Amino acid sequence: MAPKKMLCLPSLLPPLLTLLLTQADTRSFVVDRDHDRFLLDGAPFRYVSGSLHYFRVPRVLWADRLFKMRLSGLNAVQLYVPWNYHEPEPGVYNFNASHDLFAFLKEATLANLLVILRPGPYICAEWEMGGLPAWLLRKPKIHLRTSDPDFLAAVDSWFKVLLPKIHPWLYHNGGNIISIQVENEYGSYRACDMSYMRHLAGLFRALLGDKILLFTTDGPEGLKCGSLEGLYTTIDFGPADNMTKIFALLRKYEPRGPLVNSEYYTGWLDYWGQNHSTRSVPAVTKGLENMLKLGASVNMYMFHGGTNFGYWNGADMKGRFLPITTSYDYDAPISEAGDPTPKLFAIRNVISKPFPGPPVKNPALGSWNRGSLCGFPMAPERIGAQFQEVPLGPLPPPSPKMMLGPLSLHLDGNLLAFLDFLCPQGPIRSILPMTFEAVNQDHGYMLYRTYLTHTVSEPTQFWVPNNGVHDRAYVMVDGVFQGVLERNMKHNLFLMGKKGAKLDVLLENMGRLSFGSNSSDFKGLLEPPILGQTVLIQWLMFPLKVDNLVKWWFPNPLLKSSHPQNPSGPTFYSTTFPILDSGGDTFLFLPGWTKGQVWINGFNLGRYWTKRGPQQTLYVPRPLLFPRGALNKITLLELENVPLQPQIQFLDRPILNNTTHKTYIYSLSAESASEPMELSGH
């Protein structure tokens, strides 16, 4: 038999490229103002979307989370792009590994999800500084989110890198991005600088072209300063808010076109020291169903929250400084560990519902429609159909979970003993203390050191005027822990010491403001401390590279430290442990510990604050652990007080408010009606 003739690959390329280009030419996503709807490739369309932040989920788990979103009935995913995650230093860009935005877009394509992109430059998202890079504050007089030339120059430089990379991913170019948001809830910002908004709109158009749909998002109170002619206006609100009133307000700014809720809140964020937030299943599903009956497009914020690993959490200013917890579970339909919850199944049931009731003739409209809901006409094209087609097949069950311990931790030594490794370049000297930003320390910790110029024989108050501790200070005299000073909190701290005694103040940056006043949130000692009546001067500043120490130095057996008999204050502890099988997701529980930072195998898991709560456990994804007998290492930096038995445990379920957060596969639990929520912005 004669061999079959093989097709020549080069001969196939021209017709294939022609086909792809032809398809791209026919692809479109536009607003049909005559019929108050979107058109996708010319056909009526609405999205039922959910928010997921790739920067809060390990890369190896992106596909799992997106697949579960698609199986829930969603046809789109909404995501932010945090500028500070991709440009850590001016002109230095990171789109690799977990920072690979375009790998995430590819995973969304494989999950058959369209993309709604929100590149900022400001994103809020309860993320460090709302996504703006901390290095912007190295110019202390900069005015963020305005037409300040310094700010615009940095924004333009960033977007001239990012937006051309996004351009091939636009829907009409054959990609999956159907719309892009300009800025984020700008109407909630005090500046109301419309020249800035017009500059951004022009920049987006210049770099992305005229075919992509650009939009804005604001809460009801922000539409005046947040909307801009030429950008499609959308709104955000939650299940406790008055849908009729809010959509009527939206119509004053966007009289025709589809109704869009860009952030329908399925839950809420948590602050350290406050209760874990929840939103009831009935309230969330009722509001969703009412919007879908109107034919509105809806994005659920969040559909999967994830985790603020490392130092990435943001903070709010609501009368006082409120840092956000490491967990960003958000009481979302998919839990922090990626498991389906009762809320997910209830939402899926709503999405798959047939559109209720028979059609009626409306002479005023001259067409068949479904009557009205809350004064808004219902969508005629959905008669007798599901709100949204839900893929067949069950959702995957919860991931395997692992329990381990208790494990005893061993003392590595006091933080001060490792100063040469934490700050190998040595200290910076200044008469007055300098901020983190002034010494290019964006995150984490910095040690301030001075020496007493005279003997203080009686307990004397140590304080910092003008609320000058940003954000939390751990005070030591000759290496002995004395106590804590904290931003917006009144602490009475009294010190004694001989002339020449070493005064160390370890400053923790607990996350820059992501909402609230959103002014420039400088970190460190903003004012010189005062001891009694004496202003303390002549400071040494040690910018600490704690992550480098944990990752590179602690595995070194030659690194030794003297061990204090009664350790207190900032101290390192660690241990190693094997996992004898394949392991599973788990939750680190630190009973009796006070506050600090945790690393697993060199990965910065995030902050714990067991004493203040509400979060009691830290999510540990299975991919962070070495399975089948290999040794895993856990390192703690405890900042205050250690329990009598320095032990930890790994649990098979989280504790987010001293109560376990259970996962479900099929059973739905009725919950109490939701309480009103304050719109914070995201």
Q: Which of 263, 336, 437, 638 is catalytic?
A: 263
Tell me if 126 sits within 8 A of 314, measured CB to CB. yes
DSSP states of 447-466 as a string?
A: EEEEE-SS-EEEEEEEE-TT
Strand (E) positions, 8-53? 29-32, 37-40, 43-45, 48-52
Strand (E) positions, 109-176? 114-118
In this structure, the dihedral spanned by the alpha carbons of residues 199, 200, 204 and 205, taken in order and rounded to 10 degrees, is -40
In this structure, the dihedral spanned by the alpha carbons of residues 66, 72, 76 and 79, taken in order and rounded to 10 degrees, is -50
In angstroms, the CA 476 to CA 572 distance is: 16
Tell me if 144 sits within 8 A of 132, measured CB to CB. yes
CB atoms within 10 A of CB 269: 27
Tell me if 641 sits within 8 A of 252, measured CB to CB. no
Distances (CA, A) of 81 to 116, 120, 350, 463: 11, 7, 30, 39
Find tokens 């509001």 and name the residue. Answer: 287
67's enclosing H/E stretch is: helix 62-71
**Chain mean position to CA 633:** 26
The residues pairing with 50 across neighbouring beta strands, listed in sequence order, are 77, 300
Pick the closest to residue 433 from 510, 501, 527, 531 (CA basis): 527
Tell me if 617 sits within 8 A of 587, measured CB to CB. yes
Tell me if 199 sits within 8 A of 147, measured CB to CB. yes
Tell me if 78 sits within 8 A of 50, measured CB to CB. yes
**Length of the chain counted residue by residue:** 682
Pick the closest to residue 475 from 456, 498, 491, 454 (CA basis): 491
CB atoms within 10 A of CB 145: 23
Residue 263: active-site member: yes
In angstroms, the CA 627 to CA 578 distance is: 7
Pick the closest to residue 472 from 480, 464, 138, 531 (CA basis): 464
Tell me if 119 sits within 8 A of 166, measured CB to CB. yes
Q: Which of 185, 336, 508, 640 is catalytic?
A: 185
Tell me if 492 sits within 8 A of 506, measured CB to CB. no
Both tokens assigned to 164 = 């051309």
Q: How many CA atoms lie within 13 A of 300 on its CB side?
A: 33
In angstroms, the CA 612 to CA 326 distance is: 13
535's enclosing H/E stretch is: strand 534-535
Instruction: Please identify every residue annotated as catalytic.
Output: 185, 263
